[in-house]
Chains A and B, each alone.
Chain A
Amino acid sequence: MKQEYTITVYTENQVGLLNRIAIIFSRRKINIESLNVSPSEAEGIHRFTIVINEFEEVVRKLCRQIERQVEVLKAYFNTGDEIVWQELALYKVPTDEVAEKLQVERLLREFGARAVVIRKDYTIFETTGHREETDKLLAVLAPYGLIEFVRSARVAIIKASNGFHEKLKEFEAVEPASELIENEFLNKQAEVFSM
């Protein structure tokens, strides 16, 4: 069954790497639903967060192709229940409309929203959460002359992860620790497949 997977990739900070990773998906006609690139907890290491809808088998192979890139340190993939994730949304609405017709206070409380900018002509609300939550506020605001709306890519934390600091040290060692050859598919070989 196809389902939503969040892929987390730790990489060197190198020009052109975004393209190298993106074409692994586009070559296979796989649509990237969301893509975020940012520094990670480890200095000099970047973290890609990529969301796609695919079969587990496909995602597994994609991760191996990603890890094969010289400047990629590690790629993980997780389903929604294995991560904590958030997206941020910004909504720009006409101030008079909203002030007149909406109970702004209630809105802020109910949706955990914040007013980031309030001007005579427009107000910008911000909220963070899952897609459904940011969508709900969008539905409420839409009838009041929504001027602009934007949602960020997903950022996600892997629940089971201990971060990358220790891993990175191992990568830096010339003689790698055996931990490093950890490769998720090799570890899952307990259930011996037949072809």
Chain B
Amino acid sequence: MMQAELTKPSLASPEHPVEISGSQAVLEAFIAEGVDTIFGYPGGAIMPIYDALYDYHDRLKHILVRHEQGGIHAGQGYARSSGRTGVVFATSGPGATNLVTGLADALIDSTPLVCITGQVFAHLLGTDAFQETDIINITTPVTKWNYQVTDATEIPQVLAKAFFIASTGRPGPVLIDIAKNAQLQKFSYTGYTKCDHIRSYRPKPIVRKSYIEEAAALINEAKKPFVIFGQGVILGRAEEEFKAFIEKAGLPAAWTILGLSALPTNHPQNVGMLGMHGNYGPNVLTNECDVLIAVGMRFDDRVTGRLDKYAKQAKLIHLDIDPAEIDKNVKSTVPVWGDCKETLPLLTALVHEKKHTDWLNTFHNYAREEHEIVIDQELHPASGEITMGEVVEALNELTNGDAIIVTDVGQHQMVACRYAKFNESKSNITSGGLGTMGFALPAAIGAKFGAPHREVVAIIGDGGFQMTLQELGTIMQAQVSVKMLILNNRFLGMVRQWQQLFHDKRYSFVDIQSPDYVQLVKAYGLEGNSVDDRKNLKEALQKMLDSKDSYLLEVMVGKEDNVFPMVPQGCSVSEIRLK
């Protein structure tokens, strides 16, 4: 080997160590882990890493965001559209604390992230130094794992651990806080070894055959079996295995909003959405099925409604990789603890081929009723203001269900999830567990980097857009193509709906004004348009989709429209209201 090559960190080995800095070690770890994009924002305590990055710009793309919250949501969007780990940089103090919302969001929605924060010099820890904050303790409740590095020699192993923990088992965010001295410190680097084992961490349970057999027996005996699935199917990359399972056993399947897109929306056994604003049949029939098969979902209260009246008649088979989820909210009859990529095929092998036609028809009957009372009017109103549903429906027609749809939080989110069509997995990106307004715009930026060949449409409320609109600057500078569809009802719609229904229409501080969005994006050099007339809607959407660059379309929608059906808080899923 030539002498020059020996100094390349990527060629370092225990026999041929190479002297590098802690900062370089971080970037070498990224390259070894296959990272291609970093979302970040620099500052004093992370400057050595940014200085090292200067020499890596040909191998690592860095996207300069406008706020660290935007950075971490972009990391989440990247992870959700690509199925890979998102990587985020922030400086110490305020940079680090700005990550907290995104960490909480990523933890509850099981999104793999590795966040690197700069920290003050180790000798200054605990002295209230400039921009020192105890980010390890602040983020402990909102990270799967976190660790503070004060010595550069630890960096390769710690980063290997970080990537392993973030992406395996039930994925989640990891934060590594690196003191400035460790970033600067030179040490003898012996190469990077990926981590595949931590003795106290068992990401992959061994599947117990006996539970598979018991589960299969229950399914085979069932008259009215019902599958409910969540993001576990997507995170486990088990979409095909899942489809094979429900197809063989003829099972109707409904999704949580994080499970959406794991099964194509037009699949004949896809019966729709669960939960508070889910479909009529799936909610009501949860309380009528005899065997409930939950796959990679965690019985969030927005899905179950009142727990003591939830599926009491049913035997429950719960497939999950996280043992803490089994029996947490709903007691299982048969717990199938494991990776659904493994457990589903085992189950498929044992279940009998069936059709359950009558049972499936029961769902269709409920769907018909829901169409008559709610959906038809929502999707095809003859007159009046534009509805959110018709915008989503028009978008379906134009994209054929091939776009990635990123939603913010509120009424538009529920409407988009209810009506958007998806052919491909990893296409619905939304903040489900935390319900973080301001998520969509930065997440859409990340989603585009994670899936550059796909169309990314962010559907956002007028409230949520104003929470993180600084990221328009990121869009401008990174020249990333994101279609922004603002559904403007001139209200904080979802809160207004609750005030109308449950607080005697006392509209307390939900009346929100907007800037001229078209002018606003113009200031960022982007094109935009606003429509309030039904007859211009499709054309406007088409123009948005045709645009090569980012584009903002504002659609003025019904001011006081409500999202129905609805399971009012504290009610059982069978008490779902159609109006």
Contact = CB atoms under 8 A, between A and B. Distances in A.
A20 B324 contact: no
Contacts of B146: 16
Contact of A185 (B198, B322, B326): B326
A176 to B, nearest CB: 6
A181 B200 contact: no
Interface in A45-85: 60-61, 64-65, 67-68, 70-73
**Which residue of B144, B202, B211 has the most chain A CB atoms within 10 A of its CB atom?**
B202
B80 to A, nearest CB: 22
A11 B334 CA distance: 29
B453 interface: no
A161 interface: no
Interface-centre pick from A23, A73, A186 (highest chain B CB count, 10 A): A186
Contact of A72 (B141, B148, B200): B200
A60 B140 CA distance: 22
B328 A61 contact: yes
Interface residue range, chain A: 20 to 34
A68 B322 contact: yes
B206 A178 contact: yes
Q: Point out which of A12, A64, A72, A174 has the most chain B C-beta atoms below 10 A from its C-beta.
A: A64
Contacts of B330: 195
A171 interface: yes
**Interface of B, helix, strand, loop or mixed by DSSP:** loop
Contacts of B211: 186, 189
A120 B66 CA distance: 70
B331 A193 contact: yes
A64 B170 CA distance: 14
A70 B144 contact: yes
Nearest to B174: A70
A59 B499 CA distance: 38
Contacts of A101: none
A181 B205 contact: yes
A10 B372 CA distance: 58
A67 B323 contact: yes
Interface string A82-109: 0000000000000000000000000000
B178 to A, nearest CB: 15
Contacts of A72: 200
Contact of B136 (A16, A185, A189, A193): A16
A16 B196 CA distance: 23
Given A23-B141, A68-B322, A186-B208, A193 B202 contact: no
A168 B200 CA distance: 9
A68 B335 contact: no
Contact of A20 (B140, B196, B316, B328): B140
Nearest to B328: A61
A181 B208 CA distance: 9
Contacts of A132: none
B383 interface: no
B199 A195 contact: no
Contacts of B137: 16, 19
Given A61-B324, A176-B206, A193 B332 contact: yes
A172 interface: yes
Interface stretch (B249-257, B307-315, B478-486, B536-544): B307-315
B189 interface: no
A11 B144 CA distance: 16
Contacts of B136: 16
A70 B333 contact: no
Nearest to B203: A70
Contact of B202 (A27, A65, A180): A180
A162 interface: no
A194 B197 contact: no
A192 B333 contact: yes
Nearest to B330: A195
B509 interface: no
Given A61-B324, A174-B196, A195-B314, A186 B337 contact: yes
A174 B327 CA distance: 28
A140 to B, nearest CB: 43
B552 interface: no
A104 B558 CA distance: 86
B113 to A, nearest CB: 15
A73 B199 CA distance: 8
Nearest to A19: B140
A152 interface: no
Contact of A189 (B197, B198, B335): B335
Contacts of A19: 137, 140
B536 to A, nearest CB: 50
Given A68-B322, A70-B200, A186-B335, 10 more contacts: A12-B199, A64-B323, A70-B144, A171-B200, A181-B202, A185-B323, A186-B211, A192-B334, A195-B331, A195-B333
18 contacts: A23-B140, A60-B327, A61-B324, A61-B327, A73-B200, A171-B199, A176-B206, A178-B206, A180-B202, A181-B337, A183-B323, A185-B335, A186-B337, A189-B334, A193-B333, A195-B312, A195-B316, A195-B330
Across the A-B interface, give the 3 residue pairs with the lowest CB-CB distance, nearest first. Answer: A64-B324, A171-B199, A181-B206
Interface of B: 136-137, 140-141, 144-148, 165, 196-202, 205-206, 208, 211, 310-312, 314-316, 322-324, 326-328, 330-335, 337
